[in-house]
Protein backbone atom coordinates (compact mmCIF):
# COMPACT_ATOMS: atom_id res chain seq x y z
CA UNK A 1 0.00 0.00 0.00
CA UNK A 2 1.31 3.43 -0.97
CA UNK A 3 1.20 6.15 1.68
CA UNK A 4 1.51 9.86 0.94
CA UNK A 5 2.76 12.60 3.24
CA UNK A 6 4.37 16.02 3.32
CA UNK A 7 7.91 16.07 4.69
CA UNK A 8 9.19 19.46 5.91
CA UNK A 9 12.96 19.86 5.64
CA UNK A 10 15.10 21.96 7.99
CA UNK A 11 15.97 24.53 5.32
CA UNK A 12 12.35 25.53 4.65
CA UNK A 13 11.49 23.25 1.69
CA UNK A 14 8.69 20.70 1.95
CA UNK A 15 8.66 17.58 -0.23
CA UNK A 16 5.49 15.63 -0.92
CA UNK A 17 6.38 11.96 -0.76
CA UNK A 18 5.02 8.55 -1.65
CA UNK A 19 6.23 5.59 0.36
CA UNK A 20 5.77 1.90 1.11
CA UNK A 21 7.31 -0.40 3.68
CA UNK A 22 8.02 -0.21 7.38
CA UNK A 23 9.94 2.67 8.89
CA UNK A 24 13.22 1.59 10.40
CA UNK A 25 14.02 -0.79 7.55
CA UNK A 26 16.91 -0.13 5.10
CA UNK A 27 15.87 2.73 2.84
CA UNK A 28 15.61 3.09 -0.92
CA UNK A 29 14.86 6.55 -2.34
CA UNK A 30 13.62 6.95 -5.92
CA UNK A 31 13.99 10.25 -7.83
CA UNK A 32 11.83 11.07 -10.86
CA UNK A 33 12.46 13.34 -13.82
CA UNK A 34 10.58 15.72 -16.15
CA UNK A 35 7.71 15.79 -16.97
CA UNK A 36 6.97 13.11 -14.40
CA UNK A 37 6.38 12.89 -10.65
CA UNK A 38 6.80 10.53 -7.72
CA UNK A 39 3.82 8.34 -8.66
CA UNK A 40 5.76 6.79 -11.57
CA UNK A 41 7.70 4.71 -9.03
CA UNK A 42 4.64 3.15 -7.34
CA UNK A 43 5.21 -0.31 -8.82
CA UNK A 44 8.81 -0.35 -7.60
CA UNK A 45 7.87 1.00 -4.17
CA UNK A 46 5.36 -1.81 -3.72
CA UNK A 47 7.77 -4.44 -5.05
CA UNK A 48 10.83 -3.61 -2.95
CA UNK A 49 8.83 -3.06 0.24
CA UNK A 50 7.81 -6.74 0.20
CA UNK A 51 9.82 -9.06 2.43
CA UNK A 52 10.69 -11.42 -0.42
CA UNK A 53 12.28 -8.54 -2.35
CA UNK A 54 14.28 -7.03 0.50
CA UNK A 55 11.60 -5.55 2.75
CA UNK A 56 12.92 -2.03 2.24
CA UNK A 57 11.43 1.25 3.33
CA UNK A 58 10.83 2.80 -0.13
CA UNK A 59 10.33 6.53 -0.64
CA UNK A 60 9.70 8.56 -3.79
CA UNK A 61 9.70 12.32 -3.19
CA UNK A 62 8.29 14.79 -5.65
CA UNK A 63 11.31 16.98 -6.34
CA UNK A 64 11.03 20.67 -5.54
CA UNK A 65 8.87 22.37 -8.16
CA UNK A 66 6.70 19.28 -8.75
CA UNK A 67 3.23 18.29 -7.54
CA UNK A 68 2.69 19.45 -3.92
CA UNK A 69 6.36 19.99 -3.08
CA UNK A 70 7.66 23.52 -2.50
CA UNK A 71 8.06 25.47 -5.74
CA UNK A 72 10.37 28.45 -5.29
CA UNK A 73 9.84 31.15 -7.90
CA UNK A 74 13.51 32.11 -8.30
CA UNK A 75 15.18 30.12 -11.09
CA UNK A 76 18.44 30.02 -9.10
CA UNK A 77 16.63 27.91 -6.48
CA UNK A 78 16.82 25.00 -8.95
CA UNK A 79 20.60 24.88 -9.17
CA UNK A 80 22.23 21.55 -8.29
CA UNK A 81 23.42 22.55 -4.82
CA UNK A 82 19.85 23.22 -3.70
CA UNK A 83 18.47 20.02 -5.24
CA UNK A 84 21.22 17.97 -3.55
CA UNK A 85 20.48 19.72 -0.26
CA UNK A 86 16.83 18.62 -0.46
CA UNK A 87 17.67 14.94 -0.94
CA UNK A 88 20.47 14.99 1.63
CA UNK A 89 18.02 16.41 4.19
CA UNK A 90 15.41 13.80 3.28
CA UNK A 91 18.00 11.03 3.72
CA UNK A 92 18.93 12.36 7.17
CA UNK A 93 15.29 12.11 8.23
CA UNK A 94 14.27 8.86 6.56
CA UNK A 95 17.49 6.90 7.19
CA UNK A 96 18.11 8.12 10.73
CA UNK A 97 17.80 4.56 12.07
CA UNK A 98 20.20 3.34 9.36
CA UNK A 99 23.12 5.54 10.35
CA UNK A 100 21.94 8.26 7.98
CA UNK A 101 22.79 6.14 4.93
CA UNK A 102 20.57 4.82 2.15
CA UNK A 103 20.76 1.25 0.95
CA UNK A 104 20.47 2.72 -2.55
CA UNK A 105 19.52 5.92 -4.36
CA UNK A 106 17.61 5.11 -7.56
CA UNK A 107 17.03 7.82 -10.16
CA UNK A 108 15.87 8.58 -13.70
CA UNK A 109 16.19 11.62 -15.97
CA UNK A 110 16.46 14.85 -13.90
CA UNK A 111 16.38 12.77 -10.75
CA UNK A 112 19.55 11.17 -12.04
CA UNK A 113 21.21 14.56 -12.45
CA UNK A 114 20.56 15.19 -8.75
CA UNK A 115 21.74 11.67 -7.85
CA UNK A 116 25.02 11.93 -9.79
CA UNK A 117 25.81 15.17 -7.97
CA UNK A 118 24.88 13.78 -4.56
CA UNK A 119 27.01 10.67 -5.12
CA UNK A 120 29.99 12.89 -5.95
CA UNK A 121 29.51 15.46 -3.19
CA UNK A 122 28.12 13.35 -0.33
CA UNK A 123 29.00 9.71 -1.02
CA UNK A 124 28.78 8.87 2.69
CA UNK A 125 24.98 9.19 2.44
CA UNK A 126 24.51 6.24 0.08
CA UNK A 127 25.76 2.68 -0.04
CA UNK A 128 24.83 2.28 -3.72
CA UNK A 129 23.62 4.29 -6.68
CA UNK A 130 21.33 3.14 -9.50
CA UNK A 131 20.84 5.34 -12.56
CA UNK A 132 18.28 4.79 -15.31
CA UNK A 133 18.79 6.78 -18.53
CA UNK A 134 20.23 9.86 -16.94
CA UNK A 135 23.54 11.07 -18.34
CA UNK A 136 26.62 11.47 -16.22
CA UNK A 137 27.59 15.18 -16.31
CA UNK A 138 31.04 14.39 -17.71
CA UNK A 139 29.85 12.42 -20.73
CA UNK A 140 26.84 14.69 -21.23
CA UNK A 141 29.00 17.80 -21.37
CA UNK A 142 31.38 16.07 -23.79
CA UNK A 143 28.54 15.13 -26.13
CA UNK A 144 26.80 18.51 -25.91
CA UNK A 145 30.06 20.19 -26.88
CA UNK A 146 31.20 17.88 -29.65
CA UNK A 147 28.34 15.72 -30.94
CA UNK A 148 25.91 17.17 -33.49
CA UNK A 149 23.66 14.17 -32.80
CA UNK A 150 23.42 15.01 -29.10
CA UNK A 151 22.97 18.71 -29.82
CA UNK A 152 20.04 17.89 -32.09
CA UNK A 153 18.60 15.36 -29.63
CA UNK A 154 18.72 17.95 -26.82
CA UNK A 155 17.34 20.84 -28.86
CA UNK A 156 14.03 20.59 -26.97
CA UNK A 157 15.85 22.00 -23.93
CA UNK A 158 16.06 25.37 -25.63
CA UNK A 159 12.28 25.36 -25.97
CA UNK A 160 11.80 24.53 -22.29
CA UNK A 161 13.78 27.58 -21.16
CA UNK A 162 11.52 29.99 -23.07
CA UNK A 163 9.55 32.30 -20.76
CA UNK A 164 6.27 31.02 -22.21
CA UNK A 165 7.19 27.32 -22.17
CA UNK A 166 4.82 26.30 -19.38
CA UNK A 167 1.92 28.16 -20.99
CA UNK A 168 2.55 26.44 -24.30
CA UNK A 169 2.88 23.04 -22.65
CA UNK A 170 -0.39 23.49 -20.74
CA UNK A 171 -2.49 24.55 -23.74
CA UNK A 172 -5.20 22.29 -25.20
CA UNK A 173 -5.05 19.57 -22.55
CA UNK A 174 -1.24 19.52 -22.55
CA UNK A 175 -1.13 18.82 -26.27
CA UNK A 176 2.62 19.49 -26.47
CA UNK A 177 3.49 17.28 -23.49
CA UNK A 178 1.98 13.96 -24.57
CA UNK A 179 4.46 13.61 -27.48
CA UNK A 180 7.27 13.50 -24.90
CA UNK A 181 6.02 9.95 -24.35
CA UNK A 182 4.44 8.92 -27.64
CA UNK A 183 7.31 10.12 -29.88
CA UNK A 184 10.00 8.29 -27.93
CA UNK A 185 8.80 4.71 -27.93
CA UNK A 186 6.00 2.28 -27.23
CA UNK A 187 3.48 4.26 -25.19
CA UNK A 188 0.92 1.50 -24.70
CA UNK A 189 1.48 1.97 -20.96
CA UNK A 190 0.05 5.50 -21.22
CA UNK A 191 -3.57 4.57 -20.45
CA UNK A 192 -6.30 7.08 -19.75
CA UNK A 193 -5.93 6.31 -16.05
CA UNK A 194 -2.22 7.10 -16.17
CA UNK A 195 -2.89 10.23 -18.23
CA UNK A 196 -5.20 11.43 -15.47
CA UNK A 197 -2.38 11.00 -12.96
CA UNK A 198 -0.14 13.16 -15.15
CA UNK A 199 -2.86 15.76 -15.61
CA UNK A 200 -3.25 16.09 -11.85
CA UNK A 201 0.48 16.71 -11.46
CA UNK A 202 0.76 19.09 -14.40
CA UNK A 203 -2.24 21.15 -13.29
CA UNK A 204 -0.36 21.84 -10.07
CA UNK A 205 2.12 23.77 -12.21
CA UNK A 206 4.88 23.28 -14.77
CA UNK A 207 7.06 26.28 -13.95
CA UNK A 208 9.14 24.37 -11.41
CA UNK A 209 9.92 21.63 -13.93
CA UNK A 210 10.89 24.14 -16.61
CA UNK A 211 13.10 25.95 -14.10
CA UNK A 212 15.39 22.91 -13.94
CA UNK A 213 16.30 23.59 -17.57
CA UNK A 214 16.51 27.36 -17.05
CA UNK A 215 18.91 26.93 -14.14
CA UNK A 216 21.30 24.60 -15.95
CA UNK A 217 23.86 25.58 -18.62
CA UNK A 218 24.04 21.94 -19.81
CA UNK A 219 22.07 22.42 -23.00
CA UNK A 220 23.00 22.80 -26.68
CA UNK A 221 24.87 25.99 -27.56
CA UNK A 222 23.21 28.56 -29.82
CA UNK A 223 24.48 31.67 -31.56
CA UNK A 224 23.21 33.91 -28.75
CA UNK A 225 23.84 31.47 -25.88
CA UNK A 226 27.09 29.49 -25.48
CA UNK A 227 25.41 27.22 -22.88
CA UNK A 228 27.41 23.97 -22.62
CA UNK A 229 30.20 25.34 -24.82
CA UNK A 230 31.07 27.73 -22.00
CA UNK A 231 31.17 25.12 -19.23
CA UNK A 232 34.21 23.38 -17.77
CA UNK A 233 33.78 20.84 -14.98
CA UNK A 234 36.85 19.85 -12.95
CA UNK A 235 37.40 16.12 -12.64
CA UNK A 236 36.91 16.18 -8.87
CA UNK A 237 33.28 17.17 -9.50
CA UNK A 238 32.70 14.16 -11.74
CA UNK A 239 34.06 11.09 -9.98
CA UNK A 240 31.74 8.58 -8.29
CA UNK A 241 33.25 5.87 -6.10
CA UNK A 242 30.19 4.12 -4.66
CA UNK A 243 28.99 0.90 -6.36
CA UNK A 244 26.87 2.11 -9.27
CA UNK A 245 24.38 0.39 -11.55
CA UNK A 246 23.52 2.13 -14.82
CA UNK A 247 20.55 0.79 -16.79
CA UNK A 248 20.51 2.29 -20.29
CA UNK A 249 17.70 1.87 -22.81
CA UNK A 250 19.38 1.97 -26.21
CA UNK A 251 16.43 3.46 -28.13
CA UNK A 252 16.37 6.69 -26.11
CA UNK A 253 16.18 9.35 -28.82
CA UNK A 254 16.94 12.20 -26.39
CA UNK A 255 19.92 10.46 -24.77
CA UNK A 256 21.78 8.32 -27.33
CA UNK A 257 24.01 5.40 -26.25
CA UNK A 258 27.19 7.42 -26.79
CA UNK A 259 26.50 8.89 -23.35
CA UNK A 260 27.66 5.68 -21.66
CA UNK A 261 30.91 5.57 -23.67
CA UNK A 262 33.77 6.33 -21.31
CA UNK A 263 31.55 6.23 -18.24
CA UNK A 264 33.93 3.89 -16.44
CA UNK A 265 36.53 6.67 -16.45
CA UNK A 266 34.36 8.54 -13.95
CA UNK A 267 32.65 5.69 -12.08
CA UNK A 268 35.12 3.36 -10.38
CA UNK A 269 32.64 0.59 -9.48
CA UNK A 270 30.36 0.47 -12.51
CA UNK A 271 27.82 -2.16 -13.52
CA UNK A 272 26.33 -1.27 -16.92
CA UNK A 273 23.20 -2.93 -18.30
CA UNK A 274 22.16 -1.87 -21.81
CA UNK A 275 18.65 -2.72 -22.99
CA UNK A 276 17.75 -2.89 -26.71
CA UNK A 277 14.23 -2.10 -27.89
CA UNK A 278 13.53 0.19 -24.94
CA UNK A 279 13.18 3.97 -24.82
CA UNK A 280 13.72 6.74 -22.30
CA UNK A 281 10.56 5.50 -20.56
CA UNK A 282 11.95 2.04 -19.82
CA UNK A 283 10.61 2.15 -16.24
CA UNK A 284 7.09 2.15 -17.75
CA UNK A 285 7.85 -0.13 -20.68
CA UNK A 286 9.81 -2.86 -18.91
CA UNK A 287 9.30 -2.51 -15.15
CA UNK A 288 9.92 -6.21 -14.47
CA UNK A 289 13.34 -6.07 -16.13
CA UNK A 290 14.25 -2.86 -14.30
CA UNK A 291 13.23 -4.40 -10.98
CA UNK A 292 15.22 -7.56 -11.70
CA UNK A 293 18.40 -5.64 -12.56
CA UNK A 294 17.99 -3.49 -9.45
CA UNK A 295 17.27 -6.47 -7.20
CA UNK A 296 20.34 -8.35 -8.51
CA UNK A 297 22.45 -5.24 -7.92
CA UNK A 298 21.22 -4.84 -4.34
CA UNK A 299 21.92 -8.48 -3.55
CA UNK A 300 25.35 -8.50 -5.20
CA UNK A 301 26.63 -5.68 -3.02
CA UNK A 302 25.37 -6.86 0.36
pLDDT at position 162 over 90: yes
pLDDT in tens, 15-28: 999 999 999 999 99
Tell me the β-bridge partners of 28: 58, 104
pLDDT in tens, 100-154: 999 999 999 999 999 999 999 999 999 999 999 999 999 999 999 999 999 999 9
pLDDT in tens, 206-226: 999 999 999 999 999 998 899
pLDDT at position 302 over 70: no
What is the rounded CA–CA span in Å between residue 53 and residue 4? 22
φ/ψ of residue 271, rounded to 5: -115, 115
Domain boundaries, the chain: 3-300
pLDDT in tens, 43-83: 999 999 999 999 999 999 999 999 999 999 999 999 999 99
Nearest to 15 by CA among 37, 44, 42: 37
Q: Is 0.95 topped by the overall pTM?
A: yes
The confidence score (pLDDT) of residue 1 equals: 87
- Judge whether 280 and 255 are in contact, CB under 8 Å: yes
Task: Name the 3-class secondary structure at 109.
Answer: coil
What is the rounded CA–CA span in Å between residue 85 and residue 11? 9
Classify domain 3-300 at the CATH topology level: Rossmann fold (3.40.50)
pLDDT in tens, 79-114: 999 999 999 999 999 999 999 999 999 999 999 999
The confidence score (pLDDT) of residue 300 equals: 87
The confidence score (pLDDT) of residue 170 equals: 97
Task: Name the 3-class secondary structure at 185.
Answer: coil
The confidence score (pLDDT) of residue 40 equals: 98
Amino acid sequence: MIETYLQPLPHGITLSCRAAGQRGRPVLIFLHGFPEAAFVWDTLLAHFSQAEHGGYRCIAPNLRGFEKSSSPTDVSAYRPKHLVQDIAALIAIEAENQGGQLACLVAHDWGGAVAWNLANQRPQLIKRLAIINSPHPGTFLRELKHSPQQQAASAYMNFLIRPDAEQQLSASDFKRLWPFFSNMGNSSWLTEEVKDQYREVWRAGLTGGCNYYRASPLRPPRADDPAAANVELPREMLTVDVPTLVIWALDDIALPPALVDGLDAYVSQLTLKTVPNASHWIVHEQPVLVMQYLEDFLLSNK
